[in-house]
Structure 1
């Protein structure tokens, strides 16, 4: 049995997407997988804080499985709950 798994590491910017196919040893974490990819060479200022597998957020210590796509998420510009709260407040002010 081969101790390698095949995975993808993905990262997207508004103007460009990055997708890397890798073969790594069984037992690597999501963080190790991202660090093993060329992504940090292509995006040297990138800070890995949030990752997911097929759109499902996972911990950086998540053990990667064969066939996983590790997605590196950008930080949110605005908290969606805060943005929605402000929108509701504005709508209420307009209707008063």
Structure 2
């Protein structure tokens, strides 16, 4: 069976982890995240943090990560949920300047 080398990345404000994997050709982005076993690298986070997060490749969000077949050299990025909506944060900063 043919395999490819890929990476799965996850970052917190205080640290990040990039996991290199060799996966079978045809592996999807979502499958790669499961294979990376991120809960074992970030035990302080709830395991469901990694069950269905938004995913991207090199800074571009994947619309359907369960369908995207990885290519050699791809880096799957696991995105954290936003704590505050960016628009609400900008509005709060603008209101504080008044």
Q: TM-score range by the shorter chain?
A: 0.7 to 0.9
- Secondary structure at the counterpart of residue 84 of structure 1: helix
Q: Which has the higher contact order (CA 8 A, sep 6+)?
A: 2
Q: CA deviation at 1:86?
A: 4.1
Task: Quote the Cα distance in structure 2 between the aligned partners of 1:4 and 1:11.
Answer: 23
Unaligned ranges ≥5, structure 2: none
Unaligned ranges ≥5, structure 1: none
Instruction: Map 1:4-83 onto structure 2 (within 5 A).
Output: 4-44=3-43, 45-46=46-47, 47-48=49-50, 49-58=53-62, 59-61=64-66, 62-83=68-89
CA RMSD of aligned residues (A): 2.0
- Secondary structure at the counterpart of residue 87 of structure 2: helix
- Secondary structure at the counterpart of residue 76 of structure 2: strand
Structure number, greater radius of gyration: 1
* TM-score, normalization by structure 1: 0.80
* TM-score, normalization by structure 2: 0.78
Task: Quote the Cα distance in structure 1 between the aligned partners of 2:38 and 2:17.
Answer: 7
The count of corresponding residues between Structure 1 and Structure 2 is 91
